[in-house]
Amino acid sequence: MNRYGTQWVSTLIGLALMGMGFSTAHASGLSLYEATYTTKVIGIKVTLNRSLTRDGDRFHLSQAGKTFLLKLNEDSHFSLNGTQIVGEAFVYQLGGVSNRRREVLFDQQNGTIRSLKKEEWTEHPWSPHVLDRLSQQEQMRLKLLGSDTPPERISLSIIDGPRIKLKHFDLVETGTLDTSVGTLNTVHYTLRHDDPSERSSDAWLATDHDFLMVRTEHVEDGSKTVIEIQSATVQGKPVTEM
């Protein structure tokens, strides 16, 4: 993949990895939302859309973005068992000048998790705590929903291809952040790495709007990518300055 495609994929993956939330609990345990973000890839402005919807007991988390060269769609379907997400299926599809497809199939009945990456399937023992890389953001929200204050660290097990990784999100600080929708009260988390050469990721979440993600920064190989919120609704209410 060329440099353009690599940065584009990195940007969208980063958006999935860092989405989080925190607020008083709703009846479903998760507040539904729609959000629009912007970023730049090789100097080109890109719009990203993300939404969490519900149909009965099943949730659908999706995000999408496109340019004239690439188009990406990601979808995660899951249900809840108390405060734990129970994965059902995940699909990642990249099309255009570069084509990729990833899938995760959670089969609790047969005790397996099957994962597709680089056209190869791998099989893993089923575990109630393993998440796909998109649904992890909602598990983060559930953990925060159950806390009186944001935890110092949240650890999640994420499956990506043939590997299941334990990822740690550390609390950095609370404060305010100027955004396109106004000045918001936020909490800042960072993705912890033992290897300093790995990509660094930071996210700011709006405390007055169910801690919806409002900004992320990713640095990899000296290149910095910023993703910023442009508009959003949480439980049908617009995200605005409080």
What global pTM score does this model have?
Answer: 0.83
Contact of 22 with 148, CB cutoff 8 Å: no
CATH number of the domain that 33 lies in? 2.50.20
pLDDT surpasses 70 at 10: no
Contact of 137 with 16, CB cutoff 8 Å: yes
pLDDT surpasses 70 at 4: no
Q: What is the DSSP string of 17-86?
A: HH-----SPPTTSS--EEEEEEEEETTEEEEEEEEEEEETTEEEEEEEEE-SSEEEEEEEEEEEETTEEE
Domain, as residue range, for 169: 3-238
| pLDDT, tens digit, 9 for 90 and up, residues 32-84 | 999 999 988 767 788 999 999 999 999 999 999 988 888 889 999 999 999 89
| pLDDT, tens digit, 9 for 90 and up, residues 98-135 | 788 999 999 999 999 999 999 999 999 999 999 999 99
| pLDDT, tens digit, 9 for 90 and up, residues 159-191 | 989 999 999 999 999 999 999 999 999 989 899
The residues facing 18 across adjacent strands are none
Query: What per-residue confidence (pLDDT) applies to 9?
Result: 52
Question: Number of structural domains, the chain?
Answer: 1
